[in-house]
Amino acid sequence: MKSAFRFFLLFYALLLSFGLKAQSPDQEVLMTIDGQKVTVGEFLNLYNKNNIQTELADRKSIDEYLELFINFKLKVRDAEIAGLDTVKSLRDELAGYRRQLTPPYFVDNETLELLVKEAWERMQNDLRASHILVRVDPLASPADTLLAYNKIKSAWDRARQGEDFSKLAIELSEDPSARDRQATSQRPFLRGNKGDLGYFTVFNMIYPFENAAYNTPVGQVSDIIRTNYGYHIIKVIEKHPALGRAQVAHIFFQMPANAKHDDSIRVQMRADSAYQRFLAGEDFTKLVKELSDDKGSAARDGVLPWFTCNRLVPEFMQVVYHLKPGDVSKPVLTSYGWHIIKMIDHKPIGTFAEEENDLRQRLEKDSRYALTKSRLIAKLKKEYRFTENSEVLADLLPLLDTNIFHAKWSVPQSKKLKKVLFTLAGNKYTLNDFALWLAKNQKKGQKADLSMFLHSKYKEFVDDQVVAYEDSRLEEKYPDFGLLMKEYHDGILLFEITQKKVWDKAIADTAGLQAFYETVKNNFMWPDRKEITRVTLNNLKDRETAIELEKKIVEWVNFADMTLRTIKDKVLEMDSTLMVDIVREKVVAGEEPLADALTKPQTFNKKQEVDENGRISLNMVILNQLLPPMPKELDEIRGHVTAEYQNYLENEWIKELRARYPVVVNREVFEKIKNQ
């Protein structure tokens, strides 16, 4: 019950949280409960949600709802007086719900929409590009950064002057895939790509790289860009209308590692021969199973899994782009060997409406999504009059040491830590605030230049404080959010106090339940009933035995002081092969046809059946006594009585609350609501 309530509360609130705007609900006081003000806005917020299917609020319904609302607020007030709003588990639960509701408020929606549009536009084309990488850590020292920059600048100058980009990549790139890698015990020989990254589209590369590639004309070399991997220059080789998704089959002829010229010729001849056999009319699937060196796909008639442009080597993709379903290519050479490719199926990019949801989901998992937060933070800094004295950051640097990279640094004593780093909405944040944050968030395993590390962490700290300040103001800044959190707060307290005062009490208070049962038991009456003994005998040998047992059983049931167990034992003493079942029960008219015709105690009714082997089954019903109408026992109706007892406890609780906590309704304000 509790988990279902929690799930509904969260699901409902999540639906309401998206698209909330800063509105001004009516702050006029509608009532006070124990001196606590309740506004028109809070009342109407809940009233409208609970009457969502009602187009016009009639006077009667809003009057009735007022009383229900007062009862609700009285229960919440009782929970607060009882201190439930200070219980850690409930506070943590409320904080957890709040964390799930706040993310939409920390996104710059204008930026988000631009990113979605940008992704859609870029996914219309696949790019093929090469790059040269010079590695440098994001937090490298200025000297190391300059060294890396000078190296990439030299490569950029030479590329712009017309030197062969692939040769430059082999010579200078620190991407190991650019050069051949010899076979080891862990991997086969890998041929270098000379910097060629093949085809890719939106979301396939890290965002800064993607930006540079899509903003560079075909055949040109990009400006120098920096990513988390280091510095890059990019040469765009080709721009092709987007593939979308494709599925192909292939016949594969593997090239041996370190193949010599003769080896290459032999593999090519195998591929050419297979292609000629296909042209002569032989079945493609038959040729796959007979000739392909890719045994995994050969078992599936050569069919490869669905793929996008970045999944296969560029030589393969160059051919796929020009195939239509059913087309078969000439032999194609890749770094792995020769392929004959058959297009099976192709799914192009959908319309924006078809792709939008997927784009948004992918964008939320991509690094570019951080832009929606960073640009919001920039706006919040202006809104909250952010000013900084970043030059005082230098006073913290001598107090840092490499222990911070081992999570062992502690904040030293220093008067300099009292200096103000920045102000936000008039609040001052000191070097000491930053130092304490650094100590709290230090992690093992980090390695960086201390100065670069400090400046990077300072930016994180500033962003954290801006977000924290905005987070602290959400209820005030966005009244709808404030009302939503009020609903959460009150809903959790309502559940807990009701469980304590009503639900659990009704179950645990056995004496109270029994006493309540005595007052309502006449509401739960049995009609006229019959107490019967039902006897079932199977596997009787003949009718004579059946008649004899029938007489004995009637005598034992009606006149002998025997338990049903004893009667069963006596029957089995007479014939141990019998299957015997004897029960005593109470039935109403219509429940047992054999009992319906019986009107006098000690009489009986029976039914016999004979199976295909001549064995007899005997069903007997003996009327023990006629029972007049009487109240049902508590155990027979415990669920119903417990529910009524809960209602009783709740009503008594509400009477107590109304007597304990004064309720004052501003009737003039309420009449205005009714007449709106």
Q: In this predicted structure, what is the pLDDT of residue 467?
A: 97
Same-domain pairing of 593 and 575: yes
Residue 375 resides in a domain = no
pLDDT at 628 over 80: yes
What one-character-per-residue DSSP string does 515-560 give? HHHHHHGGGSEE-SEEEEEEEEEEEE--HHHHHHHHHHHHHHHHHS
Min mean pLDDT across 55-69, 141-155, 214-228, 309-323 is at 55-69
Same-domain pairing of 70 and 207: no
Same-domain pairing of 34 and 69: yes
Min mean pLDDT across 208-212, 427-431, 569-573, 655-659 is at 569-573
Residue 95 resides in a domain = no
Same-domain pairing of 194 and 146: yes
Cβ atoms 560, 659 nearer than 8 A = no
What is the C-alpha to C-alpha distance for residues 663 and 649, in angstroms, rounded to an integer?
21
Same-domain pairing of 568 and 623: yes
Element at 618 (helix H, strand E):
strand 616-627
What is the C-alpha to C-alpha distance for residues 143 and 126, in angstroms, rounded to an integer?
38
Same-domain pairing of 229 and 173: yes
pLDDT at 134 over 60: yes
Mean pLDDT of 579-585: 93
For residue 137, give every residue at least 6 positions away whose Cβ sits within 8 Å of its Cβ, in sequence order, or none.
Answer: 144, 230, 447, 448
pLDDT-derived band of residue 167, with 50, 70 and 90 as boundaries? very high
CATH number for position 324: 3.10.50.40
Same-domain pairing of 215 and 249: no
Higher-pLDDT residue of 190 and 194 is 194
pLDDT-derived band of residue 588, with 50, 70 and 90 as boundaries? very high
What is the C-alpha to C-alpha distance for residues 171 and 164, in angstroms, rounded to an integer?
11
Q: In this predicted structure, what is the pLDDT of residue 117?
A: 97
pLDDT at 234 over 50: yes
Same-domain pairing of 129 and 237: yes
Q: In this predicted structure, what is the pLDDT of residue 262?
A: 80
Mean pLDDT of 349-370: 96
What is the C-alpha to C-alpha distance for residues 564 and 583, in angstroms, rounded to an integer?
7
What is the C-alpha to C-alpha distance for residues 400 and 561, in angstroms, rounded to an integer?
95
pLDDT-derived band of residue 575, with 50, 70 and 90 as boundaries? confident
pLDDT at 479 over 70: yes
- What does pTM read for this prediction? 0.78
Residue 226 resides in a domain = yes
Residues spanned by the domain of 583: 528-628
Mean pLDDT of 242-263: 89
The total domain count for the chain is 5
pLDDT at 58 over 70: no
What is the C-alpha to C-alpha distance for residues 535 and 537, in angstroms, rounded to an integer?
7
Other beta carbons within 10 angstroms of residue 670's beta carbon come to 17
Residue 391 resides in a domain = yes
pLDDT at 528 over 60: yes
Mean pLDDT of 215-233: 97
Q: What is the mean pLDDT of the chain?
A: 91
pLDDT at 274 over 70: yes
What is the C-alpha to C-alpha distance for residues 131 and 490, in angstroms, rounded to an integer?
58
Give the number of C-alpha atoms closer than 13 A to the C-alpha of residue 233, restricted to the C-beta side.
Answer: 27
Residue 328 resides in a domain = yes
Same-domain pairing of 226 and 136: yes
Buried b (16+ CB within 10 A) or exposed e, 461-492: bbbebbbebbeeebbeebbbbbbbbbbbbbbb
Same-domain pairing of 129 and 220: yes
Residue 32 resides in a domain = yes
pLDDT in tens, 428-457: 999 999 999 999 999 988 788 999 999 999
Same-domain pairing of 338 and 252: yes
Residue 437 resides in a domain = yes
What is the C-alpha to C-alpha distance for residues 127 and 216, in angstroms, rounded to an integer?
10
Domain-terminating residue out of 348, 369, 392: 348
Residue 344 resides in a domain = yes
Same-domain pairing of 283 and 215: no
pLDDT-derived band of residue 487, with 50, 70 and 90 as boundaries? very high
Mean pLDDT of 19-29: 58
